[in-house]
Structure 1
């Protein structure tokens, strides 16, 4: 006869009914977490939307290398991937293992890559948007709705929902975050072979002290983002005076002290080039915001 209709969690987790009682108890918490991360997908599935793409990026903040977006469509059933989470919360070893599982279990995967020169031309916001669009374009015409990590874009060519911190709230976005992160990290390891002086295999292009030290010692390389603060100065002949003021601003520990340094810079502005003043202005604004955040915490 027909028998009973499988429950929703049995469709998502094949083999659920055959689990031992002990195993059910051990995995109950993980199932609950993963089911909670299907909230956005379920609402769309219940509305008849079956092809939902999650999309996320890796590499907005680094000084070097591309920005990479991953796009993933999870199946309506068999989307249970234990330990799937925001890529930033996982070890490199676990990300690599989950990446292999995602490739086996997802309906479709797309990757979009925007290179450093294009980032400089577009700006990082537009480059991230374009990387996501490129990743989604590799999913063919299956997409009915997109779940995006972060805030809304001013325009986007697909119906979408923006989910702040979506990589920890949506399984589709979490899977996309792992695809993007693992893909980009592997690219940076390859770049390390080309440019070993910068140790890209370790910091992946992010602004660490070791990375800044390498920039000071060796200058920039072809994959550095020329438009990014911390790299721009290496493309121009900045004066010793600029670096003295730069160091003073970056070492200021209080807002009033930072303001005094800025006032001194203003008095001696006639001794600095316009591009040096603009760079110092950006450094001042960044340090001011950082100090305000520190005070708020």
Structure 2
């Protein structure tokens, strides 16, 4: 069995050693869902950061009960955090890439409004494409890093906080639209989700522009929130 990757603060401490007083970290969840928002988590750590919470991992590597338990610990561990979202309607109108930036800018604005000093701070962004800099008017120095959510503790914390926030919202939405099973699939592609759309039609919270094409065989369950 392949061991689960354990994140560290190596990348963050290198940035502190270069003189950064704070490091920001960012990850998104819900990018590939059929329904609900795309959600961006943004956290700040400073030079006084302590050892990361035991068991902190990329949200995709944690089962739902462990993510739920980890989210408040991750939030307490970082110096500050915020979550921003862009709705399904916005995704239909603007496209997913623009909405990643929109959600990220909303999280960034929330940190600024709370008094965080973030101008020109380094910001670790999971992936190899910088969709955030234009949206925040390049106020932070975005550093893209493939698998940052797996390898960087701060990005893993952002991932968990964002994932749990989005999942809770989808469970609330499930109460209004129970036929789609969002309490289980969280808006992602499953055979049961597609069957419910076929039977009942899409809801106001579906990304309507995403429903024209579908995979020949959707997975039975997609609860890990990939993408």
Provide the C-alpha distance between the structure 2 equivalents of 1:33 and 1:209, rounded to a whole number of angstroms.
33
Residue of structure 1 in register with 2:125 after alignment = 148
Aligned partner (choices 42, 45, 53) of residue 13 of structure 2: 42
* 2:171/2:183 contact within 8 Å kept: yes
* Root mean square deviation, CA, Å: 2.2
Higher helix share: 1
Query: 1:108 aligns to what?
Result: 80
Partner of 1:12: none
Partner residue in 1 for 2:58: 86
CA deviation digits over 1:35-84, x for unaligned, max 9? xx212101110011021111101100110000011111124331421111
Aligned to 2:223: none
- What CA distance in whole angstroms lies between the structure 2 residues aligned with 1:150 and 1:138? 23
Aligned to 2:221: none
Q: Of 155, 162, 171, which aligns to 2:144? A: 162
The answer to whether residue 39 in structure 2 is matched with residue 68 in structure 1 is yes
Residue deviations 1:71-107, cap 9 Å, x none?
1112433142111111000011111111111222211
Any conservation in 2 of the 1:79–1:106 contact (CA below 8 Å)?
no
Choose the corresponding residue for 2:183, options 201, 206, 227.
Answer: 201
Q: Deviations over 1:219-245 (max 9, x none)?
A: 0100000111xx247xxxxxxxxxxxx
Residues 226-265 of structure 1 mapped to structure 2, 5 A cutoff? 226-228=208-210, 231-232=211-212, 250=216
- Secondary structure of the residue that 1:148 maps to in structure 2? strand
CA distance in 2, matches of 1:150, 1:121: 24
The offset of 1:145, in angstroms, is: 1.5
Q: Is the 8 A contact 1:188 1:200 kept in 2?
A: yes
Report the 3-state secondary structure (helix = DSSP H, G, I; strand = E; otherwise coil) of the residue aligned with 1:62. coil
CA displacement, residues 141-170 of structure 1 (integer Å, 9 cap, x when unaligned): 422111001122264322110011110011
Runs of 4+ in structure 1 off by over 2 angstroms are: 74-77, 152-158
Are residues 75 and 94 of structure 1, via their aligned partners in 2, closer, same or farther at CA, if it must alter by over 3 Å?
A: farther
Aligned length: 204
Residue 98 of structure 2 aligns to a residue in which SS? helix
